[in-house]
Amino acid sequence: MKKVLSVLILLCSITAIAQKEKANRIDSLFTAMNQNKEFNGVVLFAENGQVIHKKAYGKADFIKDIPLTTESVFDLASVSKQFTAMGIALLKNQKKIDYKDPISKFIPELSFYPSISIENLLTHTSGLPDYMDVMNEHWDHSKIATNRDVIEMLASIKPALLFETDTQYEYSNTGYLLLASVIEKVSGKSYEAYLKNYIFEPLKMTSTLVNRPRFAPKDIPNLTKGHVDGTDGNPTPIDTYGTDQVAYFLDGIIGDGMVNSTVADLFLWDRALYTNQLLPKREIEKIFTPHTLKDGTLTNYGFGWQLKDHPSYGRTIGHSGAWAGYLTYIERHVANDKTFIFLQNTSLRTTGNPVLNSRKLLYNEPIEIIRFTAKEYRIEELETYTGIYKNEAINMDITIAVDNGKLTGQATGQGAFPLDSYKDHKFKFDPAGIVLIFHEDKSSFKIKQGGNITLFTK
């Protein structure tokens, strides 16, 4: 018995050490990205139900110089859709709706779309145009629109479908706006109250709520500000750009966004989805099942989740979000019980979304963290980098030249940008977050911008 206990203790110690090393690698990546103005937010990584790394990097409010904490609250943007989808699934489980019900059953104003079902809205197969385009063209931008306003606008102008319902997949925020209105119509509760009563409170997600900060401001502890590029080159709250922007005049819309939360609450949500706390197992499985189009083609979307079978990582279930200066992401590796979440309150030219590296870190795969040490190059050295570089998959060349003693880059149809020089064949253009790393023989370079890396060859 003592030997068995000793072995168990040893195995636990080895696991703890491995997780600590993994957490250190994760921290190194996000620290470097924060220093390079590529990441400003909070991250959480977990394995087998245990958090291995949770940390905040950067500012909650750049103007007031307020730091982020792991309790900071972020607008989830389109990550909100999974909660809308769960709300619909709960109504289905309560036998109050059916996925095949036409939307006209609940929103009769849209009876001229007779073929669109609840499931088509959930899976982005309705063919409805995105309401943001419709409202941007037809709505008075000085007013904040609500779901009711959008429904009335659609009923008034009757926009044509982009394609026959259930023949294609095309991501559309309109479907989830309408689903929120269905939740309100069927439940008799507000969208916010329904999610709170049936999802957030049962799961003890105490920092999660629906928030429309311009339409109905609330005093929310630890709430962050969403930031975009300022005219001075620094992050600035998006509201400094006034009311003539979608983040203002569409702030009253719910269903496709507007849920606010923390990484800790989203981890509670992640764990609950492995259980029958909210729904029976068969109903949970339906949420995570790819939708089948009329011709039998499978899409890569379930109910509020993007789905993928990865050759190395198994089945992944995730979603991204981008709205009003926020960038969000959650990904669940259900075959291996691994999860990572990152919530950012900056959407800058330099901002990255390090999904690929996050996966690699969870599976102990090597990643590249770029570090910079300044170096002055002689003109004759800079000239060895010059030339026209191509990537066959991208219809764009990048010309590298020397101008006024500095290396410059110029993409097809764009202006030239100066590159600051660093050791190990590295060059940077900080205002756009562009990094070029040349091969030693100058035959190619990797260009990195916002977390994306692409190879160009001379």
Q: Which residues are catalytic?
A: 78
Reduced to 3 states, what is the DSSP secondary structure of residue 387? strand
Other CB atoms within 10 Å distance of the CB of residue 229:
18
97-101 contacts at long range (C-beta below 8 A, 24 or more positions apart): 97/182, 97/186
Q: CA–CA separation, 369 vs 32, rounded Å?
A: 7
84: enclosing H helix or E strand = helix 81-93
DSSP structural state of residue 183: H
Reduced to 3 states, what is the DSSP secondary structure of residue 168? coil
Of 363, 293, 329, 325, nearest to 451 (Cα)? 329
CB 291 within 8 A of CB 163: no
CB 457 within 8 A of CB 389: yes
CB 135 within 8 A of CB 122: no
Cβ neighbors of 433 (< 8 A, separation 6 or more) are 36, 37, 38, 348, 349, 350, 351, 352, 449, 450
Q: CA–CA separation, 366 vs 310, rounded Å?
A: 18
Q: CA–CA separation, 266 vs 76, rounded Å?
A: 10
CB 83 within 8 A of CB 177: no
Q: CA–CA separation, 340 vs 52, rounded Å?
A: 10
Please compute, for residue 177, the number of CA atoms within 13 A of its CA located in the half-sphere on the CB side.
24
Q: CA–CA separation, 183 vs 71, rounded Å?
A: 29
Measured in residues, the chain has a length of 458
- The residue type found at 250 is L
β-sheet bridge partners, residue 374? 422
Of 331, 282, 340, nearest to 308 (Cα)? 331
Of 306, 325, 273, nearest to 75 (Cα)? 325
Q: CA–CA separation, 107 vs 304, rounded Å?
A: 21
Cβ neighbors of 184 (< 8 A, separation 6 or more) are 190, 191, 194
